Amino acid sequence: MTLKKIVFAFIFALLPFYAAAQDYDGYSPETLLIDAPTAHVLDKYQASFTTRSYADGSVMESLDFGVIPQINIGFSIAVYELIGSSDDIKVLDPDFQVKWKLFDGSLYLPAIAIGYDGRRYGYNRQSKEYMDDRKGGYITLTREIFTPGLNASAGMNLSDFDRHDLYFFLGASWRLNDWLALVGEWDNINNMRDSRLNLGAHINITPALVLSGAVRRIGRGDENERMLQLRYVTNF
């Protein structure tokens, strides 16, 4: 298939989403920067559909729902080597996520949320292990700082409840205009070797449809990874 046909097929596939998104009021909430969670949640009766393509031809599908005010639940499933020429694709174990926004924030205090995120990345077929552990249980704080459109998040997480290793994350999102936001995060902070620097951008095709691109594990040599993600938020 030629590049022109691929681009045309991609645009044609987005048309139903574009038409449905016109009635959406407001921008899709940034519940995640790249991997680091913010304190934002989906509203009640909102649903988020996320497709992430990343290393080794892997694709992860995530669905999140605003079931009651301030509480989101969701699940995700990934397929290893789905993209490419491999005939030996592998469906990985499904994971789930939940977030509860405890405090909306005020003039001086940040919004606060707690949650659990079971998503893992970087599967190795030989060792049957993941390069990146799940976020696990976490607490996160988010607040607008310095200038309108610049939101900072910080938090801590406990990936494995058996090891009791505590990790930290820092990140920010800067909305430059109606269609572009720059994002960055320092994730998995416990020691310098295991921490991850991730940089990317969110592009609003419509207020409800967001295309994201990012580079993960910057400065880690062969472990660097490019990621592409499409996220659609709607009401149900």
| 3-235: CATH architecture | Beta Barrel (2.40)
Q: Answer yes or no: are the C-beta atoms of 30 and 233 closer than 8 Å.
A: no
DSSP string over 10-43: HHHHHHHHHHHHTT--SPPP-SBSSSSB-S--PP
Average pLDDT of the residues of the chain: 86
Residue 7 pLDDT level (bands cut at 50, 70, 90): very low
Write down the pLDDT at residue 37.
Answer: 96
Write down the pLDDT at residue 87.
Answer: 76
Can you give 216-234 as a three-state secondary structure string?
ECCCCHHHCEEEEEEEEEE
Domain extents for the chain? 3-235
Residue 88 pLDDT level (bands cut at 50, 70, 90): confident
Q: How far apart are CA 224 and CA 101, in angstroms?
A: 32
Residue 26 pLDDT level (bands cut at 50, 70, 90): low
pLDDT tens digits for range 174-203: 999 989 999 999 999 988 888 999 999 999
- The average pLDDT across 49-70 equals 92
Write down the pLDDT at residue 25.
Answer: 55
- The average pLDDT across 143-167 equals 88
Least confident range of 104-108, 167-171, 221-225, 228-232 = 221-225
Residue 209 has pLDDT above 60, yes or no: yes
Write down the pLDDT at residue 27.
Answer: 64
pTM: 0.83
- The average pLDDT across 80-106 equals 89
Residue 144 has pLDDT above 60, yes or no: yes
Write down the pLDDT at residue 29.
Answer: 84
- From residue 162, give the alpha-carbon distance in Å to each of 80, 116, 122, 158, 159: 27, 15, 22, 10, 9
Structure tokens at 118: 């079971």
Write down the pLDDT at residue 213.
Answer: 96
